[in-house]
Amino acid sequence: MTADAGDPGFEDLGYARPDTDREARLGLPEVVYGPGKSAAQMAGVVTSLLAANSGPVLATRVEPDVAARVRAAVPGGGYDEPARLLSWRRAEPLGFGLLVVSAGTSDAPVAAEAAAVAEVIGLSVTRLTDVGVAGLHRLLAARAELAAADAVVCIAGMEGALPSVVGGLVGCPVIAVPTSVGYGATFEGVTALLAMLSSCAAGITVVNIDSGFSAAMAAHRIAVRSRR
Amino acid sequence: MTADAGDPGFEDLGYARPDTDREARLGLPEVVYGPGKSAAQMAGVVTSLLAANSGPVLATRVEPDVAARVRAAVPGGGYDEPARLLSWRRAEPLGFGLLVVSAGTSDAPVAAEAAAVAEVIGLSVTRLTDVGVAGLHRLLAARAELAAADAVVCIAGMEGALPSVVGGLVGCPVIAVPTSVGYGATFEGVTALLAMLSSCAAGITVVNIDSGFSAAMAAHRIAVRSRR
Amino acid sequence: MTADAGDPGFEDLGYARPDTDREARLGLPEVVYGPGKSAAQMAGVVTSLLAANSGPVLATRVEPDVAARVRAAVPGGGYDEPARLLSWRRAEPLGFGLLVVSAGTSDAPVAAEAAAVAEVIGLSVTRLTDVGVAGLHRLLAARAELAAADAVVCIAGMEGALPSVVGGLVGCPVIAVPTSVGYGATFEGVTALLAMLSSCAAGITVVNIDSGFSAAMAAHRIAVRSRR
Amino acid sequence: MTADAGDPGFEDLGYARPDTDREARLGLPEVVYGPGKSAAQMAGVVTSLLAANSGPVLATRVEPDVAARVRAAVPGGGYDEPARLLSWRRAEPLGFGLLVVSAGTSDAPVAAEAAAVAEVIGLSVTRLTDVGVAGLHRLLAARAELAAADAVVCIAGMEGALPSVVGGLVGCPVIAVPTSVGYGATFEGVTALLAMLSSCAAGITVVNIDSGFSAAMAAHRIAVRSRR
Amino acid sequence: MTADAGDPGFEDLGYARPDTDREARLGLPEVVYGPGKSAAQMAGVVTSLLAANSGPVLATRVEPDVAARVRAAVPGGGYDEPARLLSWRRAEPLGFGLLVVSAGTSDAPVAAEAAAVAEVIGLSVTRLTDVGVAGLHRLLAARAELAAADAVVCIAGMEGALPSVVGGLVGCPVIAVPTSVGYGATFEGVTALLAMLSSCAAGITVVNIDSGFSAAMAAHRIAVRSRR
Amino acid sequence: MTADAGDPGFEDLGYARPDTDREARLGLPEVVYGPGKSAAQMAGVVTSLLAANSGPVLATRVEPDVAARVRAAVPGGGYDEPARLLSWRRAEPLGFGLLVVSAGTSDAPVAAEAAAVAEVIGLSVTRLTDVGVAGLHRLLAARAELAAADAVVCIAGMEGALPSVVGGLVGCPVIAVPTSVGYGATFEGVTALLAMLSSCAAGITVVNIDSGFSAAMAAHRIAVRSRR
Amino acid sequence: MTADAGDPGFEDLGYARPDTDREARLGLPEVVYGPGKSAAQMAGVVTSLLAANSGPVLATRVEPDVAARVRAAVPGGGYDEPARLLSWRRAEPLGFGLLVVSAGTSDAPVAAEAAAVAEVIGLSVTRLTDVGVAGLHRLLAARAELAAADAVVCIAGMEGALPSVVGGLVGCPVIAVPTSVGYGATFEGVTALLAMLSSCAAGITVVNIDSGFSAAMAAHRIAVRSRR
Amino acid sequence: MTADAGDPGFEDLGYARPDTDREARLGLPEVVYGPGKSAAQMAGVVTSLLAANSGPVLATRVEPDVAARVRAAVPGGGYDEPARLLSWRRAEPLGFGLLVVSAGTSDAPVAAEAAAVAEVIGLSVTRLTDVGVAGLHRLLAARAELAAADAVVCIAGMEGALPSVVGGLVGCPVIAVPTSVGYGATFEGVTALLAMLSSCAAGITVVNIDSGFSAAMAAHRIAVRSRR
């Protein structure tokens, strides 16, 4: 912790302890996880984080009605509905190109979250949609985008095969995101998750099911490091 | 059952009831499942099936020492050690080309079983080995073999992505076989199994983990039908 | 890919990349997976596929209200409500008889999807309903239908035993479809799925839970091959 | 408990407390579970049970070498090696006919345990072996045995379909025993267990995987009740 | 099958094939599984079964609104709402006393189904409620009821321990029914199911989660046998 | 059981058997589990327990509308809505300080139940909220509270790491409660549950997912013992 | 951490960092987990912990041959083979009576570990063996031991019902330990684990499968607290 | 693929198709997966890769006896036994500092593989061992190493909590590796895997259980990107 004696590094709101020191340690303020919090609680935490940090403040997985109430309470915020993302302030561009690739149209909400978070925290995002492995030429036609990327976020449901193919085409970091798209033996994303962890393409990493957010944050860690 | 009144359609050996009528119903004699049977029991069942049918008789998953004892007791048999397959008599060629594709070198035992069984029961087998999706050009270089196949048996462990790619390249039947190759999150073939069942390539079918035998038998059902 | 230099083999709609080349590779246009797509997106993809191909275009798992909106946007389509299937154009008959067998009355929606898809893509369908193994004579009374079939789609929930019995009666291809019918230890189709994969009847193949669609597509692969 | 004040209903051996009162409550002495017990411990418990009861005393799942040592320590015992069963004294016949049906030859060890235990505790056992559902006529040929049975123990591995078929043919109690025979998706008996619990044949009951012992004991409960 | 040449043993309604022969084989007409069937379908099947058999006809898991419509279509039926059971005609009493024991008040719906089904098919039912193992004296106070029972249906959710205790107190058949009562690690009845299958009390048998119906039918098999 | 001959130790209400003897055996009256009970049943059981015991009577997991009806029927009760807890009478303070620590704001309902139950049964509760391990200084700032506690209830969802850290900081009893907070790979609390059971901090104990109630009751067992 | 500036609170051995400060924080030195460590590594860590602390030093799950080598390298140690426990120095008695109850003879190794660890760290242990719930009178005969205990460690495999019964008889802390005793549906202790977590007896806590060690350490936390 | 017309980008050895083009696409030659390959096959593939590429060639998970035979066949190779890694040629240093942190001494083999692979492929490795979260000060004492790292590979078994803590302390990429260290509820690494995927620390990524190799390769992707 970098907090000095006079600053505990957090604010005690009773119902929450916003980690006001996180920006100093990690380069980005704490991000608020929306589910299970009331609009009032969310507003309180956001206010605390805005005051104590200078970077962007985000709240994820926020439904539209809650978002409206929080924005009313804390001015200056934007809401990206497909991404369910609330945000205040935007980071300086890091000059890092993130390619967000998704296997099917149905994976769109997860791709939207990854892209929206990434843009707020300073990454430059390009999207490539519906390039599932049952029609490989759609992906192979995008070799220029793949070659230009500083990192790839690779999103797929069902059998989750896309990251294995992408990982065999590019040498940059590939962050795989399984989605809960599908039915039956897809087990709400578990099959895609296990497939990505078992990938024969070396050096692929994986985040939680449907977590476009985690993928963007992982890319941010890489981007910050690359600038060092 | 096609058995008439004078023939019950099976022989009662006490420890087993070989289904002597199966060839009449299905086009192939019953196949003996090796595990859990003594060499003497296996020899007894094989003898019964050879006498009651005219087609090939097979015993699967037989270890070398057991195989030697059964062959000593029932002359005329051959043993394919990589496939762990015992067989007597070979079926007439059905004029059906089966392509056995495997993702990695480590999938070899399963591919060996699929190929060996298929050949004994009358299919013409071509092998394509080590064409995993992390290096797609290895598969794409085999487009001629893919186009020529009457059916494809597609074998893969780890993330089991190969059938999805193959299923997007050919219109003929694709029978996917998950293998227990891999560790950790591959869960001894379960991940590949679930991935194949969840494939985004339409019309892929799946058999049990490591069951090259089932895939060959499924291909036989297609081959026989195609000749009708 | 059969696409030449002037045709990338897909259309880039931004939110989707319809695989316009699939009919050339596989014999049937890409099928649209309904869930997670808006009516407008679905209409856009269907329009693209109709323009680029000559065969039938289908969208699966479409709810009635969405179906009505898509049909309003893309004339000429039909909707089979029990099957939740939207379709445009019907394939030439392939002269291939598919028997769709289901174990119980509750399996009807899955059987409806299998039958509806199969008919649109050119197969000739016969239905056999409620022939579960607890009353074997119901199935045995249908020996003529079983013997006449070019392939059997075998649908069952609960313990999923029907494909094992059918697979022991006929030599043609048997495609097993587990359904989510049942409660408790049926685990929404997982028990039937595992039972079918573990079948003692050789050469049975399996598709995803509740996927009448996959079974019909698998039968199409066999039918096309049989005509070669 | 029927124990009076002067008899606690058990003997305290330190390492074990044999339930000497169980015969009075349940009609049979406690049965010794072999695994995890030394030969000396097993001999001590058996001796205690023989002294306190008049009925048969059994120890299950005992390996041959341990069995030999226990028999040397406690005279009068017999050992059934296929069943891995040690026993002393045999119960009076109960006049109850138990049919032990098994799906495949590989299920033999479980069938052997069921039959051996049943005979020692007073049931009259008939065996029917290798009547799996892929060749239904083998089972249908045994209608006389099925009709004559007072109860059926129905043993199957793989997809575990046999009890569903048997349960649709007879009205007497059917006790299903899943076995760990098979590989891959059979998951060491779990698939058969779940299938049996999900059976569409009404009134089938199920015991633990590979537990021929439990099935025989369940039959004993029925037999004793029938004599009341 | 006992059906003669002039009677196929079932009626073909198109959407269903009622097994009109089942009463002859098993002693009770086929029971209709309600979920997934329309009121019209249910009425059709019930009408067929009433006409072809003389015993009671039941439909299980029927919601009140559906039940009302079926009763309007098929006169003479009764509806037990807690048990969700529709029934027509009542069997002759079999003189067999069934004790339905449940661990907690929350297990009531399953106990209601077991009791209602059992009474319609001819068993004499006694209920014992809320005798969970955390207060053993409640069960021990009911020794007279336990001793008088011809069989016990033992219903419990959560850890499912009650059948182990009951099975150690009585020698008659004990049929264990796991329920989905509880939360978290109870996994909707799976924990109770596994515990009952693993019971240290010998000879306990188990049916599917929440299936009071199956337990009653299993008791009927025992009752019929006991009268032979 | 401490009940004498004239008192069976329970009351038989037909639908329930309240364990009126439990206070004598365990130090606290039986607690009523709300789900699956009607308001009338709950009122009946509470009335019985209030009459037969002198300590606090609680009903857990009661929804507000049911609570209102029960309170109308049984005067003197209080309702804690965040904790979903109904209670009558409050125990004498035991002089035992319980620290309820929760990892995130979203864990609040579970922490509320733990605290509310603990206070009613005589413990002195302190709360510490939102001290998850991604910002360790928030927990380390509370060393005084940790050192003062007689026991710690440690509540966390997601990866469930907090009890491992707390268990390495204090020597008093640590009772870990996994919560269902999170999505995807958290599997509704299963991941946190398994992580807590696998903790590298020695001597941590665990209760069921989301069961603040169980944790408070476990603390009560410790508190009573400490006073002996 | 209580370590001052001159003491980092650990020793850096390269292959390990023994937590030399743990006794100050928790009341007991760090315990060495044996698996995966060489005898030399174990000796090095033990030597470090003996030097930096005054209390007992333990290494768990150590096989006899490794134990002999460690004892040769670090004098003064004792080895309890049934418990697989190495220990140096014994704690002052805490005046806290721990009752270690086990359901069956086969649970002995886990009970041995719990008892051996508990004795070395200062608890007074009484053992009660083979009191499984299928013969309740064996447990009820031990009411005096149950009433005298300051805490109970309750060990059971199979269905894991014993802690529910014990928890209903005593008001002191009950720490449940599931064991991997059993086969089939016991799933190597998982069933017992889930049953214990789902116990209807309030306030039971649970530790990892087969972890007698964790139970003893949990009891120590209670004992130390009780003395405060 | 960068292969030109005259070079297919792979060599066809029959039993394997080494991807000779991978270095051109990804920056590193294909890595050989050892299990399931004979020494002769491994030597053949290595020889092919050495000839077609200029960078390091590795074979993972190779047992010592196999390694010796491969090294005899292909000169110039080194073998790291703790890491089970065979390698030929070493990459130019990339100037990228990788910190390999492991929670316990028992995680050593996985840490060894991560470190050994990383060093061969050009990363500069620092090790930090035995800093599990039950003694946080051991990790906090290493703040200088943490701050200096370009990326952290964070290895832990049991509850897998370490990456959550590390991820809250540093802003650089954190690659979490679950290990199979532990027993019971650790489920051979599954618990740690799920915990890491569920981490409350944002932007952590995860690789397969025990796969130090995957973590090193993921770090390589980051390192190469950082130099661009």
> Could you give the CA distance from residue E58 to residue E77 in angstroms, rounded to a whole number?
9
pLDDT at position D106: 92
Nearest-CA distance E148 → chain G (Å): 20
On whether the CB atoms of residues G125 and G101 are closer than 8 A, the answer is no
The C-alpha atoms of residue D141 and residue D143 are separated, in whole angstroms, by 6
**Residue A4, helix vs strand vs coil:** coil
Residue C35 with chain A: CB contacts under 8 Å: 106, 181, 183
- The mean pLDDT of H143-171, rounded to a whole number, is 97
Which chains, if any, share at least 3 CB pairs under 8 A with chain D? B, C, E, G
Q: What angle do CA A20, A21, A27 make, to 5 degrees?
A: 110
User: Quick check: do C and F touch, 3+ CB pairs under 8 A?
Assistant: no
Q: Give pLDDT tens digits for G116-163.
A: 999 999 999 999 999 999 999 999 999 999 999 999 999 999 999 999
Q: What is the 3-state secondary structure (H, E, C) of E54-91?
A: CCCEEEECCCHHHHHHHHHHCCCEEEECCCCEEEECCC
Nearest CA to E14 out of C133, C151, C109, C105 is that of C105
The minimal CB distance from E225 to the residues D193, D197, D226 is found for: D226
Residue B177: band (very low, low, confident or very high) from pLDDT cuts 50, 70, 90: very high
CB B119 within 8 A of CB B85: no
How many whole angstroms from its chain centre is CA C9? 25
β-strands A77-80, A85-88 pairing: antiparallel
Could F105 and A211 be called an inter-chain contact, meaning their C-beta atoms sit closer than 8 Å?
A: no
**pLDDT for the residue numbered D2:** 46
How close, in Å, is residue E143 to chain C by CA atoms?
31
Alpha carbon distance C186, A198 (integer Å): 28
pLDDT computed for residue C185 by the predictor: 97
Does the CB of A183 have a partner CB in chain C at under 8 Å? Answer: yes
A4 band by pLDDT with thresholds 50, 70 and 90? low
Instruction: Mark which residues 119-158 of E lie under 8 Å from G by CB.
Output: 132-136, 158
Tell me the Cα Rg of chain B: 18
Q: In whole numbers, what is the pLDDT of chain D averaged over residues?
A: 95
Mean local confidence (pLDDT), B63-78: 98
Residue in D172, D197, D207 closest to E221 by CB: D172
Domain ranges of chain E: 21-88, 97-227
Which pLDDT belongs to residue B7? 85
For chain F, say whether A37 makes contact (Cβ under 8 Å): yes
In this complex, which of H135, H160, H202 lies closest to F195 when CB atoms are compared? H160
d(CA F54, CA F73): 19
Q: Work out the average pLDDT over A17-21.
A: 96
Q: pLDDT at position H3, please?
A: 46
pLDDT value of residue F1: 45
Q: How far apart are CA C71 and CA C73, in angstroms?
A: 5
Confidence of residue E2 (pLDDT cuts 50, 70, 90): very low
User: Are E175 and E150 a contacting pair, CB within 8 Å?
Assistant: no
Q: Quick one: C78 exposed, middle or buried, by C-beta within 10 A (0-12, 13-18, 19+)?
A: middle
The pLDDT assigned to E228 comes to 62
Is some CB atom of chain C closer than 8 A to the CB atom of D201? yes
Per-residue pLDDT at C3 exceeds 50: no
Closest-CA residue of chain C to B30: C202
Chains C and E touch (3+ CB pairs under 8 A): yes
CB contact under 8 A, E135 and F22: yes
Nearest Cα neighbor of H183 from G191, G63, G60, G209 is G209
Q: Would you give the distance in Å from CA F187 to the centre of its chain?
A: 22
Bridge-based pairing of strands B32-33 and B57-60 is: parallel
Mutate to test the interface with E, among F2, F19, F23, F45 (most CBs of E within 10 A): F19
* pLDDT reading at E6 higher than 80: no
Q: Residue written as tokens 């893969």? A: B156
Q: Is the pLDDT of residue G228 over 70?
A: no
Distance CA D195, CA D189 (A): 10
Taking the CA of residue C203 and the nearest CA in chain B, the distance in Å comes to 4
- Average of per-residue pLDDT values in chain G: 95
Among A135, A169, A195, select the one facing B195 at the smallest CB separation: A195
pLDDT tens digit sequence for D55-92: 999 999 999 999 999 999 999 999 999 999 999 999 99
State CA D66 to chain mean position distance.
Answer: 20
pLDDT for A1 beyond 50: no
Of F57, F55, F53, F61, nearest to F74 by C-alpha is F57
Compare A4 and A75 and report the one with higher pLDDT.
A75
CA count, 13 A, side-chain hemisphere, F55: 21
Q: B179: which chain A residues are within 8 Å (Cβ-Cβ)?
A: none
Answer whether residue A141 shows pLDDT above 60: yes
D189–chain C Cβ distance below 8 A for any pair: no
Contact E197 D208 (CB under 8 A): yes
Nearest CA among F166, F141, F148 for reference residue F98 = F148
- Out of C133, C169, C200, whose CB is closest to D164? C133
β-strand G77-80 against G85-88: which pairing, if any? antiparallel
Task: Say how far apart CA H11 and CA H50 lie, in whole Å.
Answer: 12
Residues A142-187 have pLDDT tens digits of: 999 999 999 999 999 999 999 999 999 999 999 999 999 999 999 9
* H and E: helices and strands count for chain E: 9, 9
Give the nearest partner residue to C199 out of D159, D190, D199, using CB atoms.
D159
pLDDT, one tens digit per residue, over E15-47 is: 999 999 999 999 999 999 999 999 999 999 999
Confidence of residue B228 (pLDDT cuts 50, 70, 90): low
Half-sphere exposure of H141 (CA within 13 A, CB side): 23
Which residues from chain F sit within 8 angstroms of residue E137, using beta carbons? 1, 3, 8-10, 19, 21
Strands annotated E in chain H = 32-33, 57-60, 77-80, 85-88, 97-102, 124-129, 151-156, 174-178, 205-206
pLDDT attached to residue E3:
47
Residue G153 vs residues A63, G118, G162, G208: alpha-carbon distances, Å? 47, 10, 11, 13
Digit-coded pLDDT (tens) for G24-81: 999 999 999 999 999 999 999 999 999 999 999 999 999 999 999 999 999 999 999 9
Give pLDDT, residue F201: 95
Do the Cβ atoms of G87 and G120 come closer than 8 Å?
yes
Q: How far apart are CA B120 and CA B102, in angstroms?
A: 20
The size of the E-F interface in CB pairs under 8 A is 67
The values of phi and psi at residue H144, to 5°, are -65, -45
What per-residue confidence (pLDDT) applies to D165?
Answer: 97
Q: Is G171 on the interface with H (CB under 8 A)?
A: no
pLDDT of residue D225: 75
**The CATH number fitting domain C97-227, selected from 3.40.50.1970, 3.80.30.10, 3.10.290.20, 3.40.50.720:** 3.40.50.1970
- Give Cα A150 to chain centroid, integer Å: 16
Q: State whether E141 and F10 contact (CB < 8 Å).
A: yes
The pLDDT tens digits of the residues spanning A172-183 come to 999 999 999 999
Residue C7 has pLDDT above 90, yes or no: no
Beta bridge partners of residue C158, listed in sequence order: none
| pLDDT tens digit sequence for F97-156 | 999 999 999 999 999 999 999 999 999 999 999 999 999 999 999 999 999 999 999 999
- Nearest-neighbour CA in chain G from H175: distance (Å): 21
Taking 90 as the threshold, does the pLDDT of residue D103 lie above it?
Answer: yes
How high is the pLDDT of residue D5? Answer: 59
Residues of chain E contacting residue C135, judged by C-beta atoms under 8 Å apart = 9-10, 17, 19, 21-22, 30
Interface check D171 vs E, CB under 8 A: yes
- The answer, as to whether pTM is greater than 0.95, is yes
Residue range B160-174: mean pLDDT, rounded: 97
Indicate the residue of B31, B207, B209 with minimum beta-carbon distance to C205: B207
Contacts of C190 in chain D (CB under 8 A): 194
Alpha-carbon distance values, G23 to A55, C153, G17, G228 (Å):
42, 67, 15, 16
Between CA E19 and CA C136 the distance in angstroms is 9
Q: Please, what are the averages of pLDDT over each run of 10 residues along chain F (228 residues)? A: 70 96 96 96 97 97 98 98 98 97 95 98 97 95 96 98 97 98 97 97 97 98 82
Chains that touch F (3 or more CB pairs under 8 A): A, E, G, H
Q: How far apart are CA F157 and CA H189, in angstroms?
A: 19
**pLDDT, mean of residues B88-95:** 97
Contacts of H207 in chain A (CB under 8 A): 197, 204-206
Which sign does the torsion angle of CA B167, B169, B171, B172 carry?
A: negative
Q: Are G10 and H140 in contact (CB under 8 A)?
A: no
F106 touches chain A (CB under 8 A): yes
Q: What pLDDT score does A5 carry?
A: 59
Distance CA C52, CA B207 (A): 34
Asked if residue H4 has pLDDT above 60, the reply is no
Whether E184 has its CB under 8 Å from any CB of chain F: the answer is: yes
**Amino acid sitting at position C99:** L
